[in-house]
Amino acid sequence: MEVREIQGHRVPALGFGTFEMEGRSCYDGVREALDLGYRHLDTAQMYGNEEQVGRAIRDSGVPRDEIFLTTKVWYENLAPEAVRRTTEASLRKLAVDTVDLLLIHWPNDRVPLEQTLAAMVELRRQGRTRQVGVSNFTPTLLRQALELAPVFCNQVEYHPFLGQESLVELAREHDLLLTAYSPLARGRVAGDPTLREIGDSHGKTEAQVALRWLVQQPNVAAIPKASTPEHRRANFDIFDFELSAEEMRRIHGLARGQRMIDPSFAPAWES
Ligand code: NAP
């Protein structure tokens, strides 16, 4: 497993996403992911599965300190008191003393960012999270956050069909983790002719090529979700080949601004 070194901390470059996995299928998926060797898990208050993720971690027998665990505070819970209350609830559901990374799930301009980040930094001081970060922050919002708190990560949609040049550059400049969500464009990478051609020459699928392209970029981690056991295995099997500079460039060339996740409360992306 390749790791990212961010601000002196190690983060597995490949994680397991759990959006839209609930109940038994979430528990089984996370258990199996941990058995396969995944050591980076992504959940959120909004996913309604923190209990299952926590139980799977406990039952797996994998020591807690070997797993990089992220959860996210929902955008309606960003007032300081709600940050504290809902994070404590997340920790109770996950049945852990601390998470590795606590993120603002989406920006919310109705709550001053400095108040939210101050509450998160206080939780960090209390040992309830090791790092604080943001998600779905545009370059402008990220710069604001960086002036207010020691941000560790920005988690954003990133895959071959959606370029993130400015955010990747900012991540490098400030030694931040850029976690790529929906790294498979929610499954749409399958069938892309360029990814298929490159994959064929390495004996890999389009999805494996997309993930390899992400984890081959400095500061970038990817968190594919897979409810299918074969997909979970395939997504982990990307550390035995390398894309050439020319192949990396060709994949960068597929960017066409295609966003898979764009809710009504999303920020103005071009800001
Ligand atoms: P994704 O990981 O890009 O795609 C998941 C889809 O791809 C599923 O339909 C899955 O099918 C399919 N798939 C998985 N592996 C495959 C493979 N090897 N070949 C072909 N198809 C494959 O999309 P996502 O779930 O939106 O994003 C991943 C994670 O990012 C989420 O689970 C969540 O943790 C995080 N996320 C965060 C935010 C945020 O706002 N911060 C937003 C969205 C997502 P099966 O399930 O049938 O295997």
184 CA to middle of ligand 1, Å? 6
**Which of 47, 75, 158, 181 is flagged as catalytic?**
47
Span 203-207, average pLDDT: 98
* pLDDT tens string 103-131: 999 999 999 999 999 999 999 999 999 99
Nearest Cα to 103, choosing from 145, 64, 70?
A: 70
Dihedral pair phi/psi, residue 3, rounded to 5°: -125, 155
Question: Quick check: 61 and 264 in contact, CB under 8 A?
Answer: no
Between the CA atoms of 94, 75, 111 and 109, what dihedral angle is there, to the nearest 10 degrees? 150
Asked if residues 143 and 118 have their Cβ atoms less than 8 Å apart, the reply is no
- Please give the model's pTM, rounded to 2 decimal places: 0.98
Quote the distance between the C-alpha of residue 128 and its chain's center. 19
Nearest CA to ligand 1 atom 11: 226
Ligand 1 lined by 77 (C-beta under 6 Å): no
82 contact partners, CB below 8 Å, separation of at least 6: 73, 76
Give pLDDT, residue 270.
87
CA distance 262 to 34: 30
- pLDDT at position 1: 82
Whether 47 is catalytic is: yes
**For the chain, what is the mean pLDDT?**
98
Indicate the top mutation candidate among 30, 106, 135, 182 to test ligand 1's pocket, ranked by most ligand atoms within 8 A of CB: 182
Distance from the alpha carbon of residue 263 to the mean position of ligand 1, in angstroms = 17
Calculate how far, in angstroms, residue 138's C-alpha sits from the geometric centre of ligand 1: 21
Which contiguous run of DSSP H or E holds residue 18? none
Share in percent of the chain as helix, strand, coil (round to 5): 45, 20, 35
- The Å distance, Cα 227 to ligand 1 centre, comes to 9
In terms of Cα–Cα distance, which of 190, 265, 204, 194 is closest to 234? 204
Residue 196 has pLDDT above 90, yes or no: yes
How much of the chain, in percent, has pLDDT values that exceed 90? 99
Q: Which two tokens stand for residue 135?
A: 């998600």
135 CB near ligand 1 (under 6 Å): yes
Q: What is the pLDDT of residue 213?
A: 98
239 lines ligand 1 (CB under 6 A): no
Instruction: Give per-residue pLDDT as tens, 67-114.
Output: 999 999 999 999 999 999 999 999 999 999 999 999 999 999 999 999
For residues 207 and 231, the answer to whether their CB atoms sit within 8 Å is yes
pLDDT of residue 74: 98
